[in-house]
Amino acid sequence: MKKIKQLFAGAMLTTFGLPIAQADYALNLMEGVTKVSNDIYDLHMLILWICVFIGIAVFGTIFYSIYHHRKSKGHEAAHFHEHTTVEIIWTIIPTIILVAMAIPATKTMLELDDVQESEMSIKVTGKQWYWDYQYLDSGVHFESHLDEISEKSHRGHTIDPHTVPNYLLSVDRPLVIPINKKIRFVFTSADVIHSWWVPDLGWKKDANPGFINEAWTSVPTPGVYRGQCTELCGRDHGFMPIVVIAMNQGDYDNWVKTTLEKQNAKPDLSDQSHEQLMANGSSVYLKNCVACHQIDGKGVVGNYPALRGSAKVTGGVDPLIGFLQAGTSKMPSFAKLKDNELAAVITYIRNSPDIGNKVGDEIQPKAITPVYDDDE
Amino acid sequence: MSAVTAEHDHDDHHHDDHAHGPEKGWLRWVVTTNHKDIGTLYLVFALAMFFVGGTMAMIIRAELFEPGMQFVDPQFFNSMTTMHALVMVFGAVMPAFVGLANWMVPMMIGAPDMALPRMNNMSFWLLVAGILLLASTLFMEGGAPAGGWTLYPPLVLQTGKALPFAIFSVHLLGISSIMGAINIVATILNMRAPAMSLMKMPMFVWTWLITGFLLIAIMPVFAGAVTMLLTDKFFHTSFFDAAGGGDPVLYQHIFWFFGHPEVYVMILPTFGVASTIIPVFARKPLFGYSSMVYATAAIAFLAFIVWAHHMFTVGMPISGELYFMYATMLIAIPTGVKVFNWTATMWKGAMTFETPMLFSISFVVLFTLGGFTGLMMSIAPADFQYHDSYFIVAHFHYTLVPASIFMLMAGGYYWLPKWTGHMYNEKIGQLHFWLSAISVNILFFPQHFLGLAGMPRRIPDYAIQFSDWNMISSIGGFIFGASQLLFLYIVVDTIKGGTGEKVTDEVWEDAHKHGLEWTLPSPVPYHTFSTPPTVIPCDHD
Amino acid sequence: MNEDVAVKNKRLGRNLAIVAIAMFGFGYALVPLYDVLCEWKWIERDRPDAIKAIPETAYEIDKSREVNVEFMTTLNESTPMIFSAEMTQLKVHPGEYHTVNFYAENKTASPMVARAIPSFSPALTSTYFEKVECFCFSEQTFAPHEKKVMPMRFVLNPALPHEYKTITLSYTFFDNTQTAIKK
Ligand code: HEM
Ligand SMILES: [Cu+2]
Ligand SMILES: [Cu+2]
């Protein structure tokens, strides 16, 4: 029923071009919040209007002749087939227009390119399929994944995306920046090419493995700015959004302080209840494992093995820990996970009804010893 | 209109296999070296691939109909976008134009057949082999290639078992189109009737001559790029692998050195068909024939020096960004000349609006829209926003669907009566046109809005604010897809007898003034111009 | 078809085929050409294999300005290693020699072969960044669980244009163990 209603709404819109219903109908490029993005917007509007005027002239001429120069109205065909002056004019005029466009375009390009005199640098690493942010000055360093509820919604088919706030455009840990500071971003990738795009900042930049690229921004107003990866990077390319929060210097400084405190705190390795382990394990699984092994633990036939019923998962704990920490040629190492996270996710995959395993145990953080072992 | 006479003394020099009609039975189609048979094979195959690629597009649009993952897995979605593009480019549009060239080039230049008939047969069957190999990857472990038609490393190296097969299929398709191009170029340069000087050639022949050179220059480069992928993956070279001192961005430079001219391979013959059809229905000679020729050549030349406009965000030094921006902006000039010339051809004509003309007019308008967005994207700083968003999806679909595909269909309507001797059903033809022209805009126009609003391309699911335009686009897509069945019906119906109306030799009023093919009987006999024609219709000097 | 024309067609066909084969070669020629263009700094950045040790020269130290040099470390494909730089930022005067230590540790119980690939931003600064000693000049082998301190000694050529005030040097470690075994 809902589908039919939507279809109907779509059809109405199509026929009448009327803006009805929920979402806002963005038609044009967003102006964005930075000076550069405004300049780009102005450029965009300039070219757009030039195109509109040329379009009106050309299409107007075509429709005029369609209407007046038709045989059914008894119009006799003329016989001219060239006209040097006209041909020269319509080569020269576009050339002049192009030169006129190239001037502001060059200015904006130079502005975009000028990363020097920056006040802080942030390293952005694209990974399949999340972003990794490292603040070079303060040492704040974290991963930014699609938020859990969007993750559950697009994978589980049980949560209606319309009910998810900022579906596919929110993350668990946004990038936080201070306003009015020239911030330099340095991009790289740990696997394939990604591209970091926040339309409000006015640009996107590719993250290439083994190489670095740079770009800069300076945001004048506090706010939340959203974007996405724009270079096809595999299976979950559509699911690695970007959220940037710009705040006042004071708020930002506080944020850095608390974040660093949390970052440097020793992980809590005390024993947890089964429920706690399962709940934490579920979050870890959604961030790190679900892309390949899927929400139901069934994997993808031919690509990624199932965890459901897998002997490696339900068998001995120590080999499993070693396996996760070392990784294989096909699966990355998860040595980055803290002991409590590793314990939780192992408990989760061994016992979750969603994954379809039921060993009936719980692995406590203390049980994790660094065993690092190659699978091959 | 001028008539040129030339002596003809070739009467008794018929080649053996030209002395009799077609072989009997199905074997005719396998062994044929007749340009008309091979043209038919190409066209039929291309039409079939159009529907295969179209089915994939329907799957894509169905998944994008509303937010949330509905029907397919994200990986399969990526395979669909990749295969859709590869099948449409290498299986539908390019072969269709080769098919048209096979049929029309000899007839337009007064030649008895293609220059290298046996190679002609081989290039068709290599095409079939290449496409079958490509299609077979859909059933391989790990799925079909899913890294996009541009096959960027390192992503494409993550393909499963399909990778080497996909690469070999690119090799086969490349060899096939190089052979096709060599044949067409040789035909045009060597086989023209003595009275057919270069500057008397129909525009379609001119555009194909230039396209042929483009193909010969770029397909091997693409073959080289994918061979490097192959050796990187299996033989420890590291052209594109940073770990061994290579650079993934190098692949993009090589690919787009091929890729940008490649898009012109698909549009130049389109221009040629438009320049052929518009004068006939405007009852006026083509405006500015020689500037059309020069503009085409200029576009082809520029095509080689603008490739990195596909890579503005890849991280080039400012000098590179600016150079590629200026060079790309230049393309707008010769492209503009073409559009103005078509407009001037219609101006003060005595137009009628049969299906081929309807498609041609909508081509001029909608292609121009695609050119406008192209111009917008050539502005490098603005492309920092547009790049890899739905805006560019809209751009290239405007240049490919209502341009290349529409003109292929226009060509079909225009020449079918000549080929079959039957008239197609004009009513259904016009219905097909109106449905296509309206739905193609419902399909692609909203994609401009989506891109500007921030929707990246090649994603299987999207944020809620993109819902409405996506739904509208999908609805347009379904209507467009369904409408194409009308074309299939019309083609089959026309071959079977069409309206039953017997068509005259020139089919369209005064068409004989515009092209040699209309001086031949309808349907065209199996062998034509065994003796070169002596009177060359030429409406432009 | 006339005999002469048939011969002409074959010849032209053959010549065009030769052009096609030459263009295949041209595709490969684009690889070294790319290096040349990179050296001109026209298209791209430096390629790692072009970076070699430069003998220590006595430059005049330019005390009048300081350049902020940043160090970044990345592990490709979550290579099971620890890799970090002694510091992320260092202020240097052009002409002054500095040594920065990088730490790497093999976290697995098997030997490992890895290669660090450098990259500069802004790319155009790479020619002024002269390395006397670097772990990136060659592949590094690690015993199981081995920890290494790897010094990198460098100088900024005082010819560095004044507009560059921040330079980032990034190293990405690629695990080449599999390739090394196969070779
Ligand atoms: C006025 C002429 C044109 C200009 C200035 C132009 C410019 C551009 C630019 C700058 C891009 C890159 C956009 C981006 O990735 O950010 C692009 C993409 C593209 N253009 Fe055009 N274009 C023109 C005409 C055409 C024509 C005639 C065709 C095809 C028949 C075409 C097909 C394409 C395709 C297929 C892509 C996208 C390729 C991909 O990334 O998959 N364009 N064009
Ligand atoms: Cu991506
Ligand atoms: Cu292009």
3-state SS record for B400-464 = HHHHHHHHHHHHHHHHHHHHHCECCCHHHHHHHHHHHHHHHHHHHHHHHHHHHHCCECCCCCCCH
> What is the rounded distance in angstroms from the CA atom of residue A56 to the CA atom of residue C63?
62
The CA distance from A254 to A37, in Å, is: 28
Q: Does C167 lie in the same domain as C135?
A: yes
Q: What average pLDDT does range A12-19 have in this prediction?
A: 46
* pLDDT beyond 90 at A110: yes
- In angstroms, the CA A267 to CA A339 distance is 8
Q: Is B113 a catalytic residue?
A: yes
CATH class of the domain at A274-367? mainly alpha
The answer to whether the CB atoms of C109 and A329 lie below 8 A apart is no
Tell me if C89 and A136 make a contact (CB, 8 A cut-off). Answer: yes
- Distance (angstroms) between ligand 2 centre and the Cα of A241 equals 9
Q: Does A160 contact C at CB distance below 8 Å?
A: no
> Are B287 and B540 in contact, with CB atoms under 8 Å apart?
no
Is the domain of C106 the same as that of C167? yes
Inspect the interface and report whether the beta carbons of C119 and A326 lie closer than 8 Å.
no
Instruction: Burial-class residue A78 by CB neighbours within 10 Å (0-12, 13-18, 19+).
Output: middle
CB atoms inside a 10 Å sphere around CB B441: 17
Judge whether C155 and C59 are in contact, CB under 8 Å.
yes
Please tell me whether residues C32 and C86 are part of one structural domain: no
| Residue B317 in contact with partner chain C when CB distance is under 8 A | yes
Ligand 1 within 6 A of B331 CB?
yes
**Residue A371 pLDDT level (bands cut at 50, 70, 90):** low
Atom number in ligand 1 closest to CA B329: 5
d(Cα B531, Cα A98) in Å, to the nearest integer?
Answer: 50
The reply to whether B368 belongs to the active site is: no
Helices (H) and strands (E) in chain A, counts: 10, 10
* A120-264: CATH number: 2.60.40.420
B328 lines ligand 1 (CB under 6 A): yes
Q: What is the pLDDT of residue C1?
A: 52
- Euclidean distance between CA atoms B53 and A67, whole angstroms: 37
pLDDT band at A116 (very low <50, low <70, confident <90, very high): confident
Q: Would an 8 Å CB–CB cutoff place C117 in contact with chain A? A: yes
Q: Are residues C127 and C91 in the same domain?
A: yes
Residues of chain B found within 8 Å of residue C8, distances taken between Cβ atoms = 190
- Please pick, among B137, B335, B373, B528, the residue that the annotation labels catalytic: B335
Do the chains contact at B182 and C76, CB–CB below 8 Å?
no
**A 236-265 near C (Cβ less than 8 A):** none
Encoded tokens for B412: 């079909």
Q: Which residue of A has its CA nearest to B315?
A: A213
Closest chain B residue by Cα to residue A227: B454
Q: For residue B276, report the distance from its CA to the centre of ligand 2, in Å.
A: 44
Q: Which two tokens stand for residue C12?
A: 């032209």
Cis, peptide link before residue B523, omega less than 30° from 0: yes
Q: What is the CATH number of the domain that holds C159?
A: 2.60.370.10
Predicted confidence pLDDT, tens digits, chain B (541 residues)? 333 434 343 443 444 444 567 777 788 888 888 999 999 999 999 999 999 999 999 999 999 999 998 889 899 999 999 999 999 999 999 999 999 999 999 999 999 999 999 999 999 999 999 999 999 999 988 889 999 999 999 999 988 889 999 999 999 999 999 999 999 999 999 999 888 889 989 999 999 999 999 999 999 999 999 999 999 989 888 889 888 878 899 999 999 999 999 999 999 999 999 999 999 999 999 998 999 999 999 999 999 999 999 999 998 888 889 999 999 999 999 999 999 999 999 999 899 999 999 999 999 999 999 999 999 999 999 999 999 999 999 999 999 999 999 999 999 999 999 999 999 999 999 999 999 999 999 999 999 999 999 999 999 999 999 999 999 999 999 999 999 999 999 999 999 987 888 888 888 988 888 888 898 988 898 888 888 888 777 665 5
pLDDT of residue B20: 62
Q: pLDDT tens digit string along C64-120?
A: 888 999 999 988 876 778 888 888 889 999 988 899 999 988 887 788 888 888 888
pLDDT bin (cut points 50, 70, 90) of residue A374 is very low
CA distance C58 to chain B (A): 30
Would you say residue A15 has pLDDT above 70?
A: no
pLDDT at A342 over 50: yes
* B79 CA to centre of ligand 2 in angstroms: 15
- Domain boundary assignment for chain A: 31-112, 120-264, 274-367
Domain that holds residue C122: 47-182
Q: Are strands A213-217 and C129-133 parallel, antiparallel or unpaired?
A: unpaired
Distance C37 CA to ligand 3 centre (A): 21
Q: What is the DSSP letter of B308?
A: G
Across the interface, whether the CB atoms of A188 and C164 are under 8 A apart is answered no
SS3 content of chain B, % helix, strand, coil (to 5): 70, 0, 30
Could you say which DSSP state residue A363 is in? -
State which residue of chain B sits closest to C15, comparing Cα positions: B182
**Identified catalytic residue from B264, B342, B424, B518:** B264
Helix (H) / strand (E) containing A135: strand A130-135
- Chain C: give the shortest CA distance to residue A330, in Å: 10
Is this prediction's ipTM beyond 0.85? yes
Q: Any chain A CB within 8 A of the CB of C133?
A: no
Question: Using CA atoms, how far apart are residues B313 and A109, in angstroms rounded to an integer?
Answer: 12
Residue C49: the pLDDT is 46
How many other CB atoms are found less than 10 A from the CB of residue A250?
Answer: 9
User: Which residues are paired to A157 by β-bridges?
Assistant: none
Count chain A–chain C contacts defined by CB atoms under 8 A: 92
Known catalytic residue at B283: no
Classify residue C177 as exposed, middle or buried by CB count within 10 Å of its CB (0-12, 13-18, 19+): buried
Q: Is A319 on the interface with C (CB under 8 A)?
A: no
Contacts with C75 (C-beta within 8 Å, 6 or more apart), sequence order = A190, C81, C83, C172, C173
- Residue B236: count other Cβ atoms within 10 Å of its Cβ: 12
Whether B375 lines ligand 1, by a CB cut-off of 6 Å, is: yes
Nearest-Cα residue of chain C relative to residue A210:
C172
Among candidates A44, A168, A239 on the partner chain, residue whose Cβ is nearest the Cβ of B382: A44
Domain A31-112 and domain A274-367 have a common topology? no
C129-152 average pLDDT score:
86
CB A10, CB B471: distance < 8 Å: yes
DSSP state string for chain C: --HHHHHHHHHHHHHHHHHHHHHHHHHHHHHHHHHHHHHTTSS----GGG--------PPP-TT--EEEEEEEEEGGG-SEEEEES-SEEEE-TT-EEEEEEEEEE-SSS-EEEEEEEEEESGGGGGGEEEEE-GGGS-EEE-TT-EEEEEEEEEE-TTS-TT--EEEEEEEEEE-HHHHHH-
Q: Which CATH number fits domain B2-18+38-155+166-236+248-519: 2.40.110.10, 3.40.50.2300, 1.20.210.10, 1.10.3210.10?
A: 1.20.210.10
Ligand with smallest separation from the Cα of B263: 1
pLDDT at A156 over 80: no
**What does pTM read for this prediction?**
0.91
Q: Name the strands in the sheet holding A194-198, side by side, starting at the edge strand that comes first in the sequence.
A: A175-178, A242-247, A223-229, A194-198, A203-207
For B365-405, the DSSP string reads HHHHHHHHHHHHHHSHHHHHHHTTBHHHHHHHHHHIIIIII
- Paired with C84 in beta bridges are C103
The verdict on C102 and C33 lying in the same domain is no
B282 CB neighbours in chain A (<8 A) are 69, 77
Label the pairing between strands A242-247 and A223-229: antiparallel
- Cα end-to-end distance, chain B, whole Å: 7
Mutate to test the pocket of ligand 1, among B210, B270, B310, B375 (most ligand atoms within 8 A of CB): B310
Whether B275 is catalytic is: yes
Residue C80 and residue C136 share a domain: yes
pLDDT, position A370: 59
Among B352, B388, B466, B508, most A C-beta atoms within 10 A, so best to mutate, is B388
Fold for domain A31-112? Helix Hairpins (1.10.287)
The CB of B339 under 6 Å from ligand 1? The reply is: no
Please report residues of C whose CB lies closer than 8 A to that of A186: 70, 72, 121, 168, 170
Q: Is B448 a catalytic residue?
A: no
Q: How many CB atoms lie within 10 A of CB B265?
A: 25
Question: What's the token pair of residue A241?
Answer: 């959004």
- The closest of A163, B311, A115 to C123, measured between CA atoms, is A115
Residues C26, C76 within the same domain? no
CA of B260 to the centre of ligand 3 (A): 4
What pLDDT does B438 receive? 96
- Judged against a pLDDT cut of 70, whether residue A17 lies above it is answered with no
Q: What is the overall mean pLDDT for chain A?
A: 86
Give A183's DSSP letter: E
Ligand nearest to the CA of B332: 1
Report which ligand 1 atom has the smallest distance to the Cα of B149: 41
Number of domain units in chain C? 2
For residue C165, the chain A residues in CB contact (below 8 A) are 116-117
Q: Residue C46 — pLDDT band, cuts 50, 70, 90?
A: very low
A186: left (phi over 0), alpha (psi -120 to 50) or beta: beta
Burial B80-108 (b: 16+ CB within 10 A, else e): bbbbbbbbbbbbbbbbbbbbbbbbbbbbb
Which among C70, C80, C119 has CB closest to A333? Answer: C80
